[in-house]
């Protein structure tokens, strides 16, 4: 993959989003010079128009290139912390079509007050739509709109990086000769005729190589030939004086004889499919050609992992295959996917799916293959750790590394089904510039697209943090006057969160920047909808259920606006919570653990049988609730859940 990075050109304002504030000095985004593209706000929440900025000159991208990804980097800031500048919309624009694809706005994070780079997209991110080389060169523009209360939104520069794969094609014969080392890299090197190479040093070839003619390679030093495919339609002649490493993705089909797969031969046989790309799947490969490689029928080991798990029968198979022609001398079979079809004399088939766990290389290769389900079910849960979350955040936010807290790195992300008390939270972020102090509750996304339900109480050390409810007396876009009983000394509620729980603004949440006791009035960043009447709730934390598109997508967390601790000391934070909803049903808890691809085992199940069992009165009468905060073998977790009502799983049942 190759990339090119350029500044944007001078843009225009685009009011297609209905924004009321325009941008000025749009030419300043085209260089890193300390002068700003900016929008100026008066009091009250307002939204800008799009600043639509065309990509700079990327005409050097070859006409044969395939576009792989688009990354946009902004160096931006707000003038003051009370400005409350937040992304409203971040999109790509295709000239002649309009705004296309995904909106990557981070609607949760306020812009910092110092120049900070924000990254959107990446090497394999096309923003939810397809792009041709010509569209990128001629039609691509970047658009951004923001919300703010007052002050200014400032953008120093915008850079766009295009990631692409090139096709290098040689129509005739090719002769390469050099005396030093060589590197041949790219997406595809296609030779319609022969290729003859001679060099005196080492060589590294990394590409998708397709030779319709013969290939003659000669070199003195070490060689590395790797890629998705090395395809030679004619002869291949390799000569070198040093070591060589030739590797590629592969897909092999073996049997005891040269056979087309069939169930009607009238004698027992076997068909083996091997791939290091993806697990073979689908129906019996009737009619497909299989190579004579197996020296004998697979040696199989039958055993029962645990009667409750339904994993019995073939669990291990040993394959012995001929390598007399050294065809596999440079193949790495470790962790390759294997599917074996056993066919008896009557044409009955039995399928076995596994992975290579051990292998030996000689003139005879021996592969030990273990059942995939047995391997998978012996993993440990919870599967994801705080480190996984941190790395994911770093990939989308170049500044995240500067605010990560190391206290809980390495700890697993809790799995919480239903209610649990005093769950220890994982401290992940301390961003003093934006006053974001974040604690992870647990995995946020559960079965049937349902998310973490709620936080009842948060604790700082052993002390429950306040939660106050009342009826509003008055409000403006940036204030809330409390009922008389909630009066406190000046600044008491500073850096709390205020939420309207009823009335016209029900569900609106904002943070408190100041509290005046004389007026019993909060000053807040901004209301999404200005309350006219209703009830409020004041808390020291804000809860996110895992459905958020910005920070920690898929994880439930709470955010404070002040540190939970004194200088040099961080107090532990706990919470009483109501976690994932459907998993309170023990059958659905088992299903979720088996199937969830992010934090579970990622297996497929028959949802019909699970749903039928989940609806039984003996099951609905129970609740499966609690928090899994330390790693435990999945077999131990499942064994305990299955024992509730003497439940048994069936593999391929």
Residue-level pLDDT at 45 = 82
47 and 78 fall within a common domain:
yes
Q: Report how many domains make up the chain.
A: 4
Query: For 342-367, what is each residue's pLDDT tens digit?
Result: 999 999 998 888 899 999 988 899 99
Residues pairing with 301 in the sheet: 316
Is 595 within a domain? no
Q: Are 276 and 308 members of one domain?
A: yes
Confidence band for 325, pLDDT divided at 50, 70 and 90: confident
Q: Any idea which residue has 């435990």 for tokens?
A: 632
Give a yes or no: residue 405 inside a domain: no
Same domain, 207 and 257: no
Do 9 and 145 fall into the same domain?
yes
645: in domain: no
Mean pLDDT of the 227-244 span = 49
Look up the CATH number of the domain holding residue 343. 2.40.10
Domain-terminating residue out of 102, 133, 165: 165
Find the mean pLDDT for residues 264-273: 93
Tell me what the pLDDT averaged over the chain comes to.
86
Chosen domain end from 541, 568, 595: 568
> Mean of the pLDDT values across residues 371-395?
85
Residue 602 neighbours by CB under 8 Å, 6+ apart: 376, 595, 596
How many Å apart are CA 439 and CA 179, to the nearest integer? 58
**What global pTM score does this model have?**
0.56
Helix (H, G, I), strand (E, B) or coil at 133: helix
71 vs 65, which has greater pLDDT? 71
pLDDT at 311 over 50: no
Residues 6+ apart with CB under 8 A from 515: 488, 490, 491, 492, 493, 494, 521, 522, 523
Condensed to tens digits (0 to 9), the pLDDT of residues 441-464 reads: 999 999 999 999 999 999 998 899
Residue linked to tokens 């934390």: 541
Whether 12 and 160 map to the same domain: the answer is yes
Q: Which pLDDT value is given to residue 150?
A: 81
Domain CATH code at residue 54: 2.60.120
Residues 194, 289 share a domain: no
603 is a domain residue: no
Assess whether pLDDT exceeds 60 at residue 185: no
Q: Within 10 Å of residue 474's Cβ, how many Cβ atoms? A: 14
State the pLDDT at residue 543.
96
Cβ of 189: how many Cβ atoms within 10 Å?
Answer: 22
pLDDT band per the 50, 70, 90 thresholds, residue 465: very high
**Helical segments of 363-519, H only:** 372-377, 386-396
Residue 574 included in any domain:
no
**Half-sphere exposure (Cβ direction) of 457: Cα atoms closer than 13 Å:** 12
Q: Which domain holds residue 496?
A: 426-568
Percent of the chain with pLDDT over 70: 84
Residue 610 contacts residue 448 (beta carbons within 8 Å): no
Domain end, chosen from 137, 165, 193, is at 165
Residue 596 lies in a domain: no
| 21 strand-pairing partners | 48
Which of these ranges, 27-31, 81-85, 139-143, 282-286, has the smallest mean pLDDT? 81-85
Same domain, 474 and 515: yes
Residues 49 and 148 in one domain: yes
Query: Does the pLDDT value for residue 249 go beyond 90?
Result: no
34 and 127: one domain? yes
* 39 shares its domain with 142: yes
Decide if 458 contacts 574 (C-beta within 8 A): yes
φ, ψ dihedrals at 15, nearest 5°: -95, 25
Segment 69-95 shows an average pLDDT of 92
Domain shared by 13 and 134, yes or no: yes
Q: What is the residue-wise DSSP string for 164-211? A: EE-EEEE-S-EEEEESS-EEEESSEEEESS-EEEEESS-EEEEEEEEE
Quick one: pLDDT at residue 229?
A: 44
Same domain membership, residue 552 and residue 433: yes
Residue 451 within any structural domain of the chain? yes
Please indicate whether residue 165 or residue 227 has the higher confidence score (pLDDT). Answer: 165
Annotate 483-534 with DSSP letters as a single string: PGGG--STTTTTT-EEEE-SSTTTT-EEEEEEEETTTTEEEES--SS--SS-
Q: Taking residues 582-588, what's their average pLDDT? A: 96
CA 13 to chain centre: 33
CB under 8 Å to 617, separation ≥6 — which residues?
none
Q: Is 598 inside any structural domain?
A: no
């Amino acid at each position: 993959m190759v990339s090119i990075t350029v500044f944007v050109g001078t843009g225009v304002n685009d009011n297609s989003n209905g924004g009321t504030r325009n941008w000025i000095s749009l030419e300043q985004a085209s260089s890193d010079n300390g002068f700003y593209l900016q929008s100026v706000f008066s009091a009250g929440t307002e939204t800008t128009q799009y600043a639509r900025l065309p990509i700079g000159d990327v005409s050097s991208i070859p006409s044969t290139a395939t576009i792989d990804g688009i990354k946009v980097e902004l160096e931006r800031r707000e003038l003051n912390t009370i400005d409350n500048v937040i992304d409203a919309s971040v999109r790509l624009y295709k000239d002649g079509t309009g705004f296309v694809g995904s909106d990557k706005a981070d609607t949760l994070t306020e812009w910092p007050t110092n120049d900070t780079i924000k990254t959107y997209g990446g090497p394999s991110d096309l923003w939810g739509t397809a792009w041709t080389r010509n569209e990128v060169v001629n039609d691509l523009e970047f658009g951004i709109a923001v919300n703010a209360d007052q002050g200014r939104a400032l953008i120093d520069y915008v850079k766009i990086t295009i990631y692409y794969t090139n096709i290098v094609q040689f129509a005739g014969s090719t002769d390469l000769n050099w005396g030093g080392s060589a590197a041949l890299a790219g997406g595809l090197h296609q030779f319609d005729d022969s290729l003859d190479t001679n060099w005196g040093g080492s060589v590294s070839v990394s590409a998708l190589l397709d030779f319709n003619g013969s290939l003659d390679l000669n070199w003195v030093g070490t060689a590395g030939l790797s890629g998705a495919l090395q395809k030679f339609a004619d002869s291949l002649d390799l000569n070198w004086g040093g070591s060589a490493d030739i590797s590629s993705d592969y897909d092999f089909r073996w049997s005891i004889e040269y056979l087309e797969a069939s169930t009607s031969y009238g004698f027992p046989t076997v068909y083996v499919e091997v791939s290091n790309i993806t697990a073979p799947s689908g129906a019996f490969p009737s009619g497909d050609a299989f190579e004579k490689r197996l020296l004998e029928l697979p040696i199989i080991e039958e055993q029962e992992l645990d009667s409750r798990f339904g994993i019995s029968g073939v669990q291990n198979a040993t394959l012995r295959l001929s390598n007399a022609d050294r065809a596999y001398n440079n193949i790495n079979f470790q962790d390759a996917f294997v599917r074996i079809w056993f066919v008896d004399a009557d044409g009955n088939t039995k399928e076995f799916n596994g992975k290579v766990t051990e292998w030996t290389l000689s003139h005879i290769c021996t592969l030990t293959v273990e059942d995939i389900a047995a391997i998978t079910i012996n993993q440990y849960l919870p599967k994801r750790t705080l480190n996984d979350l941190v790395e994911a955040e770093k990939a989308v936010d170049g500044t995240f590394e500067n605010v990560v807290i190391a206290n809980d790195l390495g700890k697993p992300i809790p799995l919480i089904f239903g209610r649990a008390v005093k769950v220890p939270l994982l401290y992940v972020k301390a961003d003093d510039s934006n006053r974001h102090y974040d604690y992870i509750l647990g995995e946020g996304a559960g079965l049937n697209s349902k998310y973490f339900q709620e936080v009842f109480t948060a604790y700082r050390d052993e002390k429950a943090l306040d939660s106050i409810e009342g009826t509003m007396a008055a409000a403006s876009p940036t204030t809330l006057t409390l009922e008389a009983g909630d009066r406190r000394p000046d600044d008491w509620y500073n850096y709390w969160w205020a939420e309207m729980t009823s009335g016209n603004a029900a569900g609106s949440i904002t943070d408190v920047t100041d509290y005046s006791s004389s007026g019993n009035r909060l000053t807040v960043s901004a209301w999404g909808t200005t309350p006219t009447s209703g009830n409020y709730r004041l808390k020291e934390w804000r809860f996110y259920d895992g459905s958020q598109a910005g920070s920690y997508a898929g994880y439930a967390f709470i955010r404070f606006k002040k540190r939970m601790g004194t200088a040099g000391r961080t107090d532990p934070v706990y919470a009483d919570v109501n976690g994932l909803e459907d998993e309170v049903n023990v059958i659905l808890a088992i299903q979720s653990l088996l199937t969830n691809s992010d934090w579970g085992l990622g297996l497929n199940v028959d949802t019909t049988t699970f749903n039928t069992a989940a609806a039984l009165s003996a099951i609905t009468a129970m609740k499966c609730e609690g928090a899994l905060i330390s790693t435990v073998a999945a077999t131990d977790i499942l064994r305990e859940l299955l024992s509730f009502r003497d439940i048994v799983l069936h593999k391929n049942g």
